[in-house]
Amino acid sequence: MLSIEPYKIPISDAAIADLKDRLGQARWPEAITHNWSRGQPIELIMQLTEQWRNEYDWREHERELNRYPSS
């Protein structure tokens, strides 16, 4: 019989720093006339990248996820 083991979601400071660094190094294509057949507008992706890099509170969301019972 399988048992459920309690767990916590651990996100290290190093992992967050690495992600922010990689997001900051994104190489963006030159702007093209937007056509939905080519996916999301690059401006939107750039805004989301900046939000994740500079505004998103990783620790707040980690705490929120770890509030849920895991067993």
- Please report where in the chains the tokens 């620790």 appear, as a residue: 59
Mean pLDDT of 16-45: 86
Determine the Cα–Cα distance for residues 62 and 71; give it in Å rounded to an integer. Answer: 17
pLDDT at 63: 94
High-pLDDT (> 70) share of the chain, %: 93
Instruction: With a cut of 80, say whether residue 35 has pLDDT above it.
Output: no
pTM for this predicted structure? 0.74
- How many Å is the Cα radius of gyration of the chain? 18
Instruction: With a cut of 70, say whether residue 39 has pLDDT above it.
Output: yes
The Cβ-side half-sphere exposure at 28, using a 13 Å CA radius, reads 14
Instruction: With a cut of 80, say whether residue 22 has pLDDT above it.
Output: yes
Mean pLDDT of 2-6: 78
